[in-house]
Structure 1
Amino acid sequence: MSTAATIAKVLSTPAADALIERLREKHGPVLFHQSGGCCDGSAPMCYPQGDFIVGDGDMKLGEIAGASFYMSRAQYEYWKHTQLIIDVVEGRGGMFSLDNGEGQRFLTRSRLFTDDEIERLQEAGRL
C-alpha cells in the first residue's frame, strides 16, 4: 500500500523520459507546464528552464525525468483527482514547446486516483 508521499501526481513513460533527455541535451535544463487549452490545446508544454516564468497562479505537481512539472491552480481544481501520465506519440509538438520539430510530441494521458489514494492525499494535505 502506497503512502501519500509516494503517490505521484504526474508520471512519465520511458518514451517521454527519452525525449526529455534528448531535449535537455540540446537546450539545457527544461520544465513543463500543462497547457490550459489556448493555442496548443491541452498539451504538456516543454520549455527551457529560464524561458518560462512560473507565476503565483501555478503549482508544481512534481517532476518527470528531473524536469519540474507545473499547472495553473485553477486548472488543477478540475484535475486534482487525476494522475497525469506524460507520454510521447508521433507528430508535431506544440508551437511553443521544445518538442516541436522532433517528430514526436508529448501527450497527457490520465487516470483517476483510487478512493484509497484520494483519501491518503487528502489526509496528507496534498489534494
Structure 2
Amino acid sequence: MAAVDAVPAEDASRIALTAAAGELLCLLRDQHGPLMFHQSGGCCDGSAPMCYPAGEFRTGASDVLLARLSVDGVPEPVGFWMSADQFERWRHTHLTVDVVPGRGGGFSLEAPEGVRFLIRSRLLTDEERARLGE
C-alpha cells in the first residue's frame, strides 16, 4: 500500500531543519548516500526522529510523508515520514529537526557522531492550518 502524503499545498510546511541539522545531513549524505527520516512516536528512542539510508526503513499505509526536505549541499530531498498514529496526535504542530550533543539509541545514522537528532515543536498558526487544509 502507498503511504499518505500529508502536505496538500506546495507552500505549506509541517517541518523544518535547523542549520545544524542541515550540516549534519550533508555529512551523513557524504557517508551513506541518499537519506530519509522516520519517526514512530514510540517511547524512548521511538520519540526521536531516526535517520536512515533512503529506502532502508520500509514505509507503507501506516506512515505519513510530512515533507521532502531540501538541504543545501544534498542533491536529493530527504523524506520525513511519521507513523500515522503519531501524525494524528501531532497534526496541529510544526516540527523542527535539530541536533544536540549526546548519543541516541537505535540505528539512526548520526549515533557515531556523538550527537542525536531531536524534534522541537510548536503549535501551527491559524494561517498555517488554513494553508494545510486543516
Give ranges in structure 2 of 5+ residues lacking alignment.
1-8, 72-76
Is 1:80–2:85 an aligned residue pair? no
User: Equivalent residue of 1:47, what SS?
Assistant: strand
Q: Which one of 9, 16, 22 corresponds to residue 21 of structure 2?
A: 16
1:53-104 superposed Cα distances (whole Å, 9 cap, x missing partner): 1111111000232210000111111101101100001111332111111111
Structure-to-structure mapping, 1:1-127, within 5 angstroms: 4-38=9-43, 40-64=45-69, 65=71, 66-122=77-133, 127=134
Structure 2: distance between partners of 1:61 and 1:26: 25
The structure 1 segments of at least 4 consecutive aligned residues displaced by more than 3 Å after TM superposition are none
- Does the 8 Å CA contact 2:39/2:46 hold for their aligned counterparts? no
Q: CA deviation at 1:48?
A: 0.8
Structure 2: distance between partners of 1:49 and 1:121: 26
Output the TM-score relative to the length of structure 2: 0.82
Pairwise CA RMSD of aligned residues? 1.5
Output the TM-score relative to the length of structure 1: 0.87
Structure 1: distance between partners of 2:43 and 2:123: 24
Over the matched positions of the two proteins, sequence identity in percent amounts to 54
- Does the 8 Å CA contact 1:45/1:94 hold for their aligned counterparts? no
- Does the 8 Å CA contact 1:43/1:94 hold for their aligned counterparts? no
Structure 2: distance between partners of 1:91 and 1:103: 5
Q: CA deviation at 1:44?
A: 0.3
Give ranges in structure 1 of 5+ residues lacking alignment.
none
